[in-house]
């Protein structure tokens, strides 16, 4: 009830949710009854979870932030949602996002613009801006987002919450509306590292409905944190940390750089051995990412033809049914991505763009591997700037894309990364949060969570 009250008070200004469930209290009462009858309830019993609206829920609308899916109610739950419900979690509603996850501010939602709780004239980041704002404003306890090129980590940084992008293959994508299938992963938001770890544990694991999920063991991340909660003065003694030099360089906000350097000193105080590492291919990440992500999206979004789901144009002619449904249903950012992707994949350009981008992807993956052979974790800012004003970059897509420089490489390499609040820079009524990104080798989320837990 207290979360719902808070939601009612804050939502008119924040607009984090596209849909709020009307069965939350009934579900909570049912859990209470079970507890009173000494029946078993799951470890997430009564935990309110926000779910990004590109993740399918059987009992609520799922629009992906797009007009083309207005009114669509899937017949099934995404695997991540099913698991949360099985453990007693209550889905409080569907959170706002950039249409199909394409954007960095949540301004590309077809329905509404979400505000940053730290300063409502600023963006919450994106594309999972609704999920980040909802946890930041305590409208729910934890939330799910998706991260194709930074959409969990950058909004976590802008809204001052913890954001976790799991290893590609750790969490089932079944029921996640595909943007770029080789990069997409469902991720977690929480107000603490432990909360994010508990949620990750709940949603991880092999799924026969997603052939790319791994059969790797899923450790009980949260209980591992308890044992590392020591009072030692140097609890991270000997941990080798590499600060990625290219991420504290030209073009990065000076306040962000000094906050990240202060965080690096704090890691040293905790016993870490911090050095600067260079990833020579770092700047190639952005062009490679935008070619691969657009190419995959142009193919994935061909399913929205007005026949199978959502809005359908009224016409007798089949070609205009496809064309008009898509013309009316997609927003301008999505159309631009589909055009760019179709161009990059077309005969004559494929070798010059798509194939080249895949080759660059291999180079990036190798350079991360080399750096992580020498270091236990790598650190960087999660974004080159703090949250900026609503509207500031809306008409300058290149400036918006450039803001993804800190995060896209991690998706190209398929690695896990954790973002935790590490300080503030000036701006807004009370300062603007800055997030520290920590990156580890694949399937080493446990290490990131341990370090993050001690750091916070």
| Cβ atoms within 10 Å, residue 18 | 24
Total residues contacting ligand GLN (rule CB under 6 A)?
Answer: 14
Maximum CA extent, the chain: 74
Binding of ligand GLN at residue 103 (CB under 6 A)?
A: yes
Give, rounded to a whole angstrom, the gap between the first and last alpha carbons of the chain: 29
Binding of ligand GLN at residue 372 (CB under 6 A)?
A: no
DSSP letters, 167-213, are: PTTSB--TTBPPSSTTT--EEEEESSHHHHHHHHHHHBS-BTTBTT-
Strand order in the sheet with 142-146: 17-20, 90-95, 48-52, 142-146, 186-190, 162-165, 417-425, 432-439, 377-381, 240-244, 273-277
CA-CA-CA-CA torsion sign (363, 368, 371, 372): negative
Binding of ligand GLN at residue 404 (CB under 6 A)?
A: yes
Positions 258 through 317 that interact with ligand GLN (CB under 6 A): 293
Determine which residue in the list 16, 79, 106, 127 makes contact with ligand GLN, applying CB under 6 A: 127
Nearer to ligand GLN, 79 or 146 (CB): 146
Cβ pair 259, 423 in contact under 8 A: yes
Binding of ligand GLN at residue 106 (CB under 6 A)?
A: no
Cβ pair 61, 41 in contact under 8 A: no
Residues 6+ apart with CB under 8 A from 420: 162, 193, 435, 436, 438, 452, 455, 456
- Verify whether residue 52 is a known catalytic residue: yes
Candidate ranges 67-75, 147-155, 210-218, 368-376; the one touching ligand GLN (CB under 6 A): 147-155
Which H or E run contains 274? Answer: strand 273-277
Tell the smallest beta-carbon distance from residue 24 to ligand GLN (Å).
27
Binding of ligand GLN at residue 163 (CB under 6 A)?
A: no
Candidate ranges 81-89, 95-103, 213-221, 319-327; the one touching ligand GLN (CB under 6 A): 95-103
CA 365/CA 168 separation, integer angstroms: 13
Determine which residue in the list 102, 137, 260, 284 makes contact with ligand GLN, applying CB under 6 A: 102
Binding of ligand GLN at residue 147 (CB under 6 A)?
A: yes
Determine which residue in the list 50, 93, 117, 149 makes contact with ligand GLN, applying CB under 6 A: 149
Binding of ligand GLN at residue 101 (CB under 6 A)?
A: yes
Nearer to ligand GLN, 10 or 66 (CB): 66
Catalytic residue selected from 52, 94, 165, 393: 52
Binding of ligand GLN at residue 357 (CB under 6 A)?
A: no
Residue 433 CB-density burial (10 A; 0-12 exposed, 13-18 middle, 19+ buried)? buried
Closest CA to 440 of 381, 380, 376, 383: 376
Nearer to ligand GLN, 153 or 326 (CB): 153
Tell the smallest beta-carbon distance from residue 263 to ligand GLN (Å).
23
Q: What is the 3-state secondary structure (H, E, C) of 214-247?
A: CCCCCCCHHHHHHHCCCCCCCCCCCCEEEEEHHH
Positions 171 through 210 that interact with ligand GLN (CB under 6 A): 179
Peptide bond before residue 63 is cis, with ω within 30 degrees of 0: no
Catalytic residue selected from 62, 66, 108, 127: 127
Binding of ligand GLN at residue 151 (CB under 6 A)?
A: yes
Candidate ranges 149-157, 252-260, 263-271, 279-287; the one touching ligand GLN (CB under 6 A): 149-157
- Verify whether residue 227 is a known catalytic residue: no
- Verify whether residue 127 is a known catalytic residue: yes
Cβ pair 104, 400 in contact under 8 A: yes
Tell the smallest beta-carbon distance from residue 148 to ligand GLN (Å).
4
Determine which residue in the list 89, 130, 150, 452 makes contact with ligand GLN, applying CB under 6 A: 150
Determine which residue in the list 21, 62, 96, 104 makes contact with ligand GLN, applying CB under 6 A: 104
Binding of ligand GLN at residue 53 (CB under 6 A)?
A: no
Tell the smallest beta-carbon distance from residue 383 to ligand GLN (Å).
10
CA 60/CA 75 separation, integer angstroms: 10
Tell the smallest beta-carbon distance from residue 394 to ligand GLN (Å).
13
Determine which residue in the list 148, 375, 383, 409 makes contact with ligand GLN, applying CB under 6 A: 148
Q: How many C-alpha atoms does 318 have within 13 Å on its Cβ side?
A: 0
Q: What residues are labeled active site?
A: 52, 127, 151
Residue ranges binding ligand GLN (CB under 6 A): 101-104, 127, 146-151, 179, 293, 404
């Amino acid at each position: 009830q207290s979360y719902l009250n808070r939601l009612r008070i804050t939502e008119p200004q924040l607009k984090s949710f596209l849909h709020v469930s009307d069965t939350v209290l009934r579900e909570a009462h049912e859990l209470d009854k079970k507890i009173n009858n000494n029946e078993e309830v799951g470890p997430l019993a009564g935990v309110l979870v926000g779910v990004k609206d590109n993740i399918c829920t059987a009992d609520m609308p799922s629009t992906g932030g797009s007009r083309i899916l207005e009114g669509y109610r899937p017949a099934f739950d995404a695997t991540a949602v099913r698991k949360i419900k099985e453990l007693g979690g209550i889905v409080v509603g569907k959170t706002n996002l950039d249409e199909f996850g394409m954007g960095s501010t949540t301004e590309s939602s077809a329905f509404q613009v979400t505000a940053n709780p730290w300063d409502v004239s600023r963006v919450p980041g994106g594309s999972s801006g609704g999920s980040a704002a909802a946890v930041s404003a305590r409208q729910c306890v934890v939330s799910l987002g998706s991260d194709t090129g930074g959409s969990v980590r950058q909004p976590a940084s802008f809204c001052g919450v913890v954001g976790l992008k799991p290893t590609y293959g750790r969490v089932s994508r079944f029921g996640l509306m595909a943007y770029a299938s080789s990069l997409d992963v469902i991720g977690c938001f929480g107000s603490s590292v432990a909360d994010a770890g508990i949620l990750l544990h709940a949603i991880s694991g092999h799924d026969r409905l997603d052939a790319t999920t791994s059969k790797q063991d899923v450790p009980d991340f949260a209980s591992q944190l308890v044992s590392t909660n020591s009072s030692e003065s140097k609890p991270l003694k000997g941990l080798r940390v590499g600060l990625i030099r290219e991420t504290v360089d030209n073009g990065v906000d000076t306040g962000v750089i000094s906050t990240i350097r202060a965080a690096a000193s704090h890691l040293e105080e905790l016993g870490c051995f911090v050095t600067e590492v260079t990833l020579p291919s770092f700047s190639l990440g952005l062009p490679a990412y935008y070619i691969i992500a657009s190419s995959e999206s142009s193919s994935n979004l061909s399913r929205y033809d007005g026949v199978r789901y959502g809005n359908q144009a009224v016409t007798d002619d089949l070609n205009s049914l496809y064309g008009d449904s898509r013309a009316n249903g997609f927003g301008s950012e999505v159309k631009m991505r589909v055009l760019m992707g179709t161009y990059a994949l077309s005969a004559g350009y494929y070798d010059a763009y798509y194939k080249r981008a895949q080759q660059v992807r291999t180079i990036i993956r190798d350079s991360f591997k080399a750096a992580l052979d020498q270091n236990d974790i790598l650190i960087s800012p999660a974004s080159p700037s703090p949250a900026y004003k609503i509207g500031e970059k809306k008409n300058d897509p290149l400036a918006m894309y450039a803001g993804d420089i800190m995060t896209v490489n991690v998706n190209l390499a398929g690695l896990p990364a954790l973002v935790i609040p590490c300080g503030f820079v000036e701006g807004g009524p009370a300062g603007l949060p800055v997030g520290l990104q920590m990156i580890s080798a694949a399937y080493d989320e446990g290490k990131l969570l341990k370090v993050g837990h001690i750091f916070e």
